[in-house]
Amino acid sequence: MTNIYVFPGQGSQTIGMGKELFPRYKHLLRQADALLGYSVAELCLSGPQERLSDTRYTQPALYVVNALSYLEEVRRTGVLPDFVAGHSLGEYNALFASGAFDFLTGLELVQRRGALMAAATGGGMAAVLGLPPERLSAILDQQGLTSLDVANLNSPQQIVISGPKQDIQAAKPILEREGANTVVPLKVSAAFHSRYMRSAAEQFSSFLSGYQFAELKIPVISNTEAAPYEDGRIAETLTKQLAHPVRWMDTVAFLLQQPAPEILEIGPGQVLTRLTRQIAQHPLRAAS
């Protein structure tokens, strides 16, 4: 059996997350609060929801809860995973689990990442349900919607597009006319994982240049390449992730090819568990 842990990203946050973990890991919470300048537990347990959903706060809070969830899972079971992966923000938890950096260093990276992503305004994202990725890309090209990028290849039934807000709005009726079951605008402040994040990626690259990363102890499957991280390319790969698509279908397809894979979602919610189920039902499409 191959034990695989996957960590959720932004969108999985919810008021009350971490409730059972915080009393057990008070020492790490104190360190996190000192770094961030606010109480992670208070934010997660009391909100308000608007603040918890603000990218600047979502990413550090979710990173902390994911990290504590991982530590608790290992403490409880004594099992270290054979592979790890994470969806967007969750990839930082996968790298933490693999030993690329310690808890606080990861939190520093995530805090800066969240601030840079929050500073990029004017864009938007929408989930397109019911159109396969190759069909969606063809429609965007044929209909002249070239300002929009495919940002998240989440499952055969769920692809996220990213770009200027007005173009997202204009695309909605076109995509639904062309066969999408629905197009759902996401509550985000910018066009994440697209060409519109290149400036943020450049700034993040400069920030990462001040860090040294340790050799990975567990293979981490990258969002952008759907293949294991290479030691020595961690900063480069993290920078690339900001402005390139999250290839979650291909990531899970890679993991499902391992011997007797057991994929466990570590963190709040079951978003990745549902996506994994959808991908497993369409293995050929996912691997293409």
249, 235, 153: which is closest to 202 by C-alpha?
A: 235
Query: Is residue 225 located within the same domain as residue 85?
Result: yes
What is the mean pLDDT of each successive set of 10 residues along the chain, which is 288 residues long? Answer: 97 96 98 98 96 95 98 97 98 98 98 96 93 94 96 95 96 96 91 96 98 98 97 97 97 97 97 95 53
Q: Which residue has the tokens 């608007």?
A: 50
Out of 185, 216, 237, pick the residue that ends a domain. 185
Query: Is residue 177 located within the same domain as residue 271?
Result: no
Out of 132, 155, 185, pick the residue that ends a domain. 185
Query: Is residue 10 located within the same domain as residue 97?
Result: yes
Domain count, the chain: 2
Out of 162, 185, 208, pick the residue that ends a domain. 185
Query: Is residue 15 located within the same domain as residue 137?
Result: no
Query: Is residue 41 located within the same domain as residue 16?
Result: yes
Determine the pLDDT at residue 55: 94
- Residue 221 three-state SS: strand
Residue 193 falls in the annotated catalytic set: yes
* Catalytic residue (choose from 87, 193, 222, 244): 193
Query: Is residue 53 located within the same domain as residue 129?
Result: no
Domain range enclosing 276? 2-120+194-287
Determine the pLDDT at residue 284: 46
Determine the pLDDT at residue 285: 43
The alpha carbon torsion through 38, 120, 87, 66 (nearest 10 deg) reads 0
In CATH, what number is assigned to the domain containing residue 149?
3.30.70.250
Query: Is residue 94 located within the same domain as residue 207?
Result: yes
Query: Is residue 147 located within the same domain as residue 17?
Result: no
Query: Is residue 131 located within the same domain as residue 180?
Result: yes
Determine the pLDDT at residue 205: 98
Query: Is residue 113 located within the same domain as residue 138?
Result: no
* Catalytic residue (choose from 53, 69, 88, 147): 88
Q: How far apart are CA 123 and CA 243, in angstroms?
A: 13
Contact between 87 and 9 (Cβ < 8 Å)? yes
Q: How far apart are CA 260 and CA 237, in angstroms?
A: 28
Query: Is residue 109 located within the same domain as residue 224?
Result: yes
Q: How far apart are the first and last CA of the chain?
A: 25
This prediction's pTM: 0.95
Cis peptide before 48 (omega within 30 of 0): yes
Q: Looking at residue 131, what DSSP letter applies?
A: -
Determine the pLDDT at residue 188: 85
